[in-house]
Structure 1
Amino acid sequence: MSKNIFKYSFEYLFSFVKIKLKIHWRFVMIKKSLVFIIIFFIFFTNNIFAHTGIKSSSPENGETIVNEIQEIKLSFDTKVEQNSTFTLKTKGGDPVSIRNINLDEEIMEGTLDEPLNNGDYELDWSIIGVDGHPIEGTLSFSVKVPNSNGSAEEQSANKEVDSNSLNVDELDKESEPNMSINFIIPIIIGFLFLIVIGMFVWLLRRKK
Structure 2
Amino acid sequence: MIKKISFMVSMLFFLLGTNVFAHSHLEDSSPKNGEVVTQELKDITLTFETKLEQTSTFTMKNQNGTEVPLSLVTVDGNKLVGTPTDKLENGGYTVHWKIIGIDGHLLEGDIPFTVQLPEVQKAAASTEGTSTEQASTVKADKTADTPVKEQKANSASVMAKNVQTDEPTFKNYVIPASVGLLIVVGAGSYWLLYRRKRA
Aligned partners of 1:69 and 1:103: how far apart in 2?
A: 19
Kept in 2: contact 1:80–1:103 (CA 8 A): yes
5 Å-filtered alignment, 1:52-131, equals 53-131=25-103
SS at match of 2:64: coil
Match of 2:19 in 1: 47
Cα offsets for 1:51-86 (capped at 9, x unmatched) = 361111011111111111131000001111121111
Deviates most, 44-53 or 137-146: 44-53
What is the RMSD computed on CA atoms of the aligned residues?
Answer: 1.8
2:112 is equivalent to residue 149 of structure 1: no
- Normalized against structure 2, the TM-score is what? 0.58
Amino acid at match of 1:71: D
Structure 1 residues 82 and 52, CA gap change in structure 2 (3 angstroms):
closer
- State the structure with bigger RCO (CA 8 A, min sep 6), 1 or 2: 1
Amino acid at match of 1:67: Q
2:15 is equivalent to residue 36 of structure 1: no
Kept in 2: contact 1:89–1:121 (CA 8 A): yes
Aligned partners of 2:59 and 2:113: how far apart in 1?
A: 14
Q: Which runs of 4+ in 1 moved over 4 A?
A: none
Cα offset, 1:126, TM superposition: 0.8
Cα offset, 1:134, TM superposition: 1.1
Gap runs ≥5 in structure 2: 128-199
Cα offsets for 1:116-170 (capped at 9, x unmatched) = 1111001110111111111111111111112231139x9xxxxxxxxxxxxxxxx
Aligned partners of 1:39 and 1:78: how far apart in 2?
A: 24
SS at match of 2:54: coil
Cα offset, 1:89, TM superposition: 0.1
SS at match of 1:149: helix
SS at match of 1:112: coil
Gap runs ≥5 in structure 1: 1-28, 155-208
Kept in 1: contact 2:24–2:101 (CA 8 A): no
Cα offsets for 1:22-52 (capped at 9, x unmatched) = xxxxxxx444333221110001112222236
- Normalized against structure 1, the TM-score is what? 0.56
Aligned residues: 125
Aligned partners of 2:117 and 2:5: how far apart in 1?
A: 61
Kept in 2: contact 1:55–1:75 (CA 8 A): yes
